[in-house]
């Protein structure tokens, strides 16, 4: 059984609609796919309908922007109650922070002589419900300033870059609590990827596990082989679930094809059991697992 637990649709910074994403996952031979757009559950319903039609099991999730010891950390929340008021209120705060910084980023680009306007940005990403730097990167591609998202980040948008503007993110430990209170399962996304590697050592992971963290994403392209081995060993010592995923962004991120990294069935089972034990009303959508 092939299981990919972290993908993005055009509701955030992926390029395929939730239904196209789910159909593509089925076409790629996956039996389980998770939709985990940044800071929103807005794609869930469309993805669930498509999963039903495509005959694939869908895990509804979110990739949440958090901060821990000053570093940006992405937290995956699987199967929470989408109607939980406290969780949605905090996600709303993050999304507002995302939207509020966009005019400043565009103004910085205009100061550099680039005709980056809100109208042009809206044209490159008409469907998205949360704006991210990748959308601004797509605008720079459209304007012919750079050739792809990577170059846009390298020259303008990476942390500390000329058009970078900080934004609100939730406290990681508080968010682990919010996801759990919403009866979801919190799993750290690419803990040793960009930005968060320096702060997420074993002692930190132990602290997070004590705060209710359920798992860590180990098999991710941001982690090389030695990093995966070390992280897997830590996960075992802390009794954390180990996941793997493509972190697919459609055509927006090269090399991250659906199913290029996967999660073992037994590890998915642990996530489902944990959600069930919490009384999650969300569960799998689409096809049931055998
Ligand atoms: P944002 O959500 O606006 O903070 O943008 C972060 C997203 O942009 C991440 O989820 C990545 O998909 C992407 N990203 C962040 N840094 C880079 C980078 N240096 N190069 C390419 N993509 C990046
Ligand atoms: Zn993304
Ligand atoms: Fe991420
Ligand atoms: Fe992601």
Ligand 1 atom 18, closest CA:
153
pLDDT value, residue 228: 98
pLDDT in tens, 99-142: 999 999 999 999 999 999 999 999 998 889 999 999 999 999 99
Residue 74 Cα, ligand 4 centroid: separation in angstroms? 8
Taking only the tens place, the pLDDT of each residue in 229-269 is 999 999 999 999 999 999 999 998 889 999 999 999 999 99
- Looking at residue 124, its pLDDT comes to 93
Q: Compute the distance between CA of residue 187 and CA of residue 216 in angstroms, rounded to an integer.
A: 5
Task: With beta carbons less than 8 A apart as the criterion, state whether 182 and 170 touch.
Answer: no
Nearest CA to ligand 1 atom 15: 158
The three-state secondary structure class of 171 is strand
What is d(CA 20, CA 18) in angstroms, rounded to the nearest whole number?
6
Residue nearest to atom 16 of ligand 1 (CA): 158
Contacts of 115 by beta carbon, 8 Å cutoff, 6+ apart: 143
Ligand lying nearest the CA atom of residue 253: 1
CB–CB of 185/78 below 8 Å?
yes
Nearest atom of ligand 1 to the alpha carbon of 136: 3
Atom number, ligand 1, closest to the C-alpha of residue 247: 12
pLDDT of 62: 98
Q: Which ligand is nearest to the CA of 14?
A: 2
* Residue 96 in this model has a pLDDT that exceeds 80: yes
- Cα(115) to centroid of ligand 2, in Å? 24
> 290 CA distance to ligand 2 centroid (A)?
31
- Checking if the pLDDT of 290 tops 80, the result is no
pLDDT given at position 85: 98
Question: Helix (H, G, I), strand (E, B), or coil: what is residue 162?
Answer: coil
User: What pLDDT is stored for residue 235 in this prediction?
Assistant: 98
Which ligand number lies closest to the CA of residue 39? 1
What is the model's pLDDT at position 113?
A: 97
Tell me how far the alpha carbon of residue 193 lies from the centroid of ligand 4, in angstroms. Answer: 11
State yes or no: pLDDT of 88 exceeds 90: yes
d(CA 241, CA 217): 8
- Tell me what the mean pLDDT of segment 92-96 comes to: 98
Binning pLDDT at 50, 70 and 90, where does residue 74 land? very high
Structure tokens at 19: 């239904």
Domains of the chain by range and CATH? 3-91+168-286 (3.20.20.140), 101-157 (no CATH)
Instruction: Using most ligand atoms within 8 A of CB, pick from 62, 134, 221 the residue to mutate for ligand 1.
Output: 134
Res 127: pLDDT:
87
Residue 195 confidence (pLDDT): 82
Distance 19 CA to ligand 2 centre (A): 18
97 within 8 A of 167, measured Cβ to Cβ: yes
Instruction: Summarize pLDDT for 33-66 with one digit per residue, the tens.
Output: 999 999 999 999 999 999 999 999 999 999 999 9
User: Residues enclosing ligand 1, CB less than 6 A?
Assistant: 38, 132-134, 149-150, 153, 158, 194
Mean pLDDT of 73-92: 98
Residue nearest atom 1 of ligand 1, based on CA coordinates: 132
What is the whole-number distance in angstroms between the Cα of residue 133 and the centre of ligand 1? 6
Inform me whether the pLDDT recorded for 210 exceeds 80. yes
- Give 160-196 pLDDT, tens digit per residue: 999 999 999 999 999 999 999 999 999 999 999 988 9
CA of 183 to the centre of ligand 1 (A): 28
Q: Indicate the top mutation candidate among 65, 91, 132 to test ligand 1's pocket, ranked by most ligand atoms within 8 A of CB.
A: 132
């Amino acid at each position: 059984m092939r299981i990919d637990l972290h993908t993005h649709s055009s509701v955030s910074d992926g390029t395929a609609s939730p239904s196209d994403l789910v159909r593509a996952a089925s076409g790629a031979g996956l039996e389980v796919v998770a939709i985990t757009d940044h800071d929103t559950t807005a794609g869930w319903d469309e993805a669930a309908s498509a999963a039903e039609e495509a005959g694939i099991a869908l895990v509804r999730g979110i990739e949440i922007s958090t901060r821990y010891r000053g570093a940006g950390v992405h937290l995956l929340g699987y199967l929470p109650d989408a109607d939980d008021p406290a969780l949605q209120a905090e996600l709303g705060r993050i999304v507002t922070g995302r939207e509020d910084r966009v005019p400043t980023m565009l103004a910085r680009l205009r100061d550099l002589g680039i005709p980056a306007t809100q109208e042009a940005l809206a044209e490159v990403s008409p469907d998205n419900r949360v704006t991210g730097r990748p959308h601004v990167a797509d605008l720079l591609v459209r304007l012919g300033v750079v050739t792809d998202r990577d170059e846009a980040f390298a020259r303008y948008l990476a942390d500390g870059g000329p058009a970078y503007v900080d934004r609100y993110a939730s406290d990681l430990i508080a968010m682990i609590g919010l996801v759990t209170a919403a009866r979801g399962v919190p799993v750290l996304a690419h803990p040793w990827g960009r930005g968060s590697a320096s702060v997420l050592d074993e002692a930190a992971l132990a602290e997070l596990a004590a705060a209710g963290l359920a798992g860590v994403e180990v098999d991710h392209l941001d982690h090389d082989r030695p990093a995966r081995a070390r992280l897997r060993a830590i996960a075992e010592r802390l009794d954390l679930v180990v996941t793997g995923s493509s972190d697919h962004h459609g055509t927006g991120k090269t090399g991250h094809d659906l199913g290029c990294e996967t999660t073992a069935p037994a590890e998915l089972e642990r996530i489902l059991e944990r959600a069930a034990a919490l009384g999650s009303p969300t569960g799998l959508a689409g096809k049931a697992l055998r």
